[in-house]
Amino acid sequence: MPTSFDYDLIVVGAGALGTFHAYFALQRGLRVLLLEKDARPMEATVRNFGQIITSGMAEGEWFAYARASLATYQQIQAEYDISIRQNGSLYLASTPLEMQVLEEKHARYQAIGYPSRVLSAAQCRERLPAVQASYCVGGLLFEQEVTAEPDQLIHRLLAYLVARYQLDYRPATPVREVTAGNAGASAVDARGQRYTAAQVLVCSGRDCKLLFPEVFAQSDLQLCKLQMMATYPLPQVALPGSVLTGLSIRRYAAFKACPSFAELLAEPVDAELQRWGIHLLFKQAVDGSIIIGDTHEYADLAAADDLDFNNADYLNHLMLNEARRIVDLPDWRIQRTWNGYYTQSKSQEIFQHSPDPRIHLVTGIGGKGMTSACGFAQHNVGQMHW
């Protein structure tokens, strides 16, 4: 490796995708610079539920990435508190056909050695006393799965990398240009400072149009806007882990291979819930508040401005009305609501493009970043030529 460069690798963007690439490069003993445009990461990596749901991934490459991510989360948590809690994921079935799909998936997971446990309706209510008996006919539990606190995870992970591996992390450092030279590559920040490295990795999330706009203009990336909300703290309510519902079973890639999945899609679903891509999820934060969501609105990257910053009250009420069908809470007042945005490719699981052998664009991981970005980054760093 040439020694004339400031670094072996520069990573642009300190969300989950960029930070985990930095982590695995550091583990190889490489000199890494991580540049983040904001004073602290504040995009998709912090605007989510903190649900890490390996069970929701389709079997194959991305399921393997998710399993690797789960192992890494647990490994880091054993050394440094990044807010990971092993409190499981529970899918609730609201119809016999949803339950049949869960049982089919359970059988498949048994065959590949990924633990799961079928629960009766009574067992679901024992785990989640708040669940409505009229909604739940049974469930599928993954006790090994974990959750994180999205407002804490990335910040603690960055602190860990700085302390443990001496990561050179520079927040509040927007990058205006990335170019390749005779041997290496360089990044120039908004103040004009130039950093050089053997390679540059750009993981810029929904800001992908700012660098290499011509590349992204020709891509099939689209932007997704989500609405989420959180109740006031409800410490008297026990809602452990990730709670997923019948709408989640219809949405998640893991279930599409089940024999009864096509029949399940033929079951009627509320047209407005379907129109706005709503699938109800619940997760209780450490303060006792319960996060509820979410919606999905899409626009091609060129028309991304069509997705405004508003949080539509109508959509919040759609979600709350469905949420009341599923769980019984003593207080439905909403403390806060917010938007999340992520990019995703229409044709592939993640967008990758190298405009030069020393410059790599990686973005568009979609809504599976918390679950699988870590495992993908581990694989991708291993594929790079050092």
3-class SS at 29? Answer: coil
Q: Which tokens sit at 383? A: 């594929």
pLDDT (mean) for 214-240: 95
pLDDT exceeds 50 at position 1: no
pLDDT digits (tens, 9 = 90+) for 52-109: 999 999 999 999 999 999 999 999 999 999 999 999 999 999 999 999 999 999 999 9
pLDDT (mean) for 231-236: 97
**pLDDT, averaged across the chain:** 95
Report how far residue 228's alpha carbon sits from residue 230's, in angstroms, rounded to the nearest whole number: 7
To the nearest 10°, report the CA torsion of 266, 267, 273, 279: -90
pLDDT exceeds 80 at position 208: no
pLDDT (mean) for 22-49: 96
Q: 21: left (phi > 0), else alpha (psi -120 to 50), else beta? A: alpha
Q: Give yes or no for a contact between 35 and 12, defined as CB atoms under 8 angstroms apart.
A: yes
- Angle ∠(366,368,372) on CA atoms, nearest 5: 125
Domains parsed from the chain with CATH numbers? 1-85+147-219+348-386 (3.50.50.60), 89-143+221-346 (3.30.9.10)
Q: What percent of the chain has pLDDT over 90?
A: 92
pLDDT exceeds 70 at position 3: no
pLDDT exceeds 80 at position 4: no
Indicate the pLDDT class of residue 2, thresholds 50, 70 and 90: very low
pLDDT at 369: 95
Question: What kind and span of H or E run contains 24?
Answer: helix 16-27
pLDDT (mean) for 157-182: 96
**DSSP helix, strand, coil percent of the chain (3-state; round to 5):** 35, 25, 40
pLDDT (mean) for 223-242: 96
pLDDT digits (tens, 9 = 90+) for 338-378: 999 999 999 999 999 999 999 999 999 999 999 999 999 99
pLDDT at 115: 98
pLDDT (mean) for 325-337: 97
Q: What is the DSSP string of 143-202?
A: TT-EE--TTTHHHHHHHHHHHHH--EEE-S--EEEEEE-SSSEEEEETTS-EEEEEEEEE
pLDDT at 312: 93
pLDDT at 304: 86
**pTM of the full structure:** 0.96
Please, what's the b/e burial string for 312-322 (b: 16 or more CB within 10 A of its CB; e: otherwise)?
eeebbebbeeb
pLDDT digits (tens, 9 = 90+) for 98-147: 999 999 999 999 999 999 999 999 999 999 999 999 999 999 999 999 99
Q: What percent of the chain has pLDDT over 70?
A: 99
Report how far residue 297's alpha carbon sits from residue 311's, in angstroms, rounded to the nearest whole number: 12
Nearest to 279 by CA among 257, 256, 295, 262: 295
Please state, as a whole number, how many other Cβ atoms lie within 10 Å of the Cβ of residue 174.
Answer: 14
pLDDT at 74: 97
pLDDT exceeds 90 at position 263: yes
Indicate the pLDDT class of residue 309, thresholds 50, 70 and 90: confident
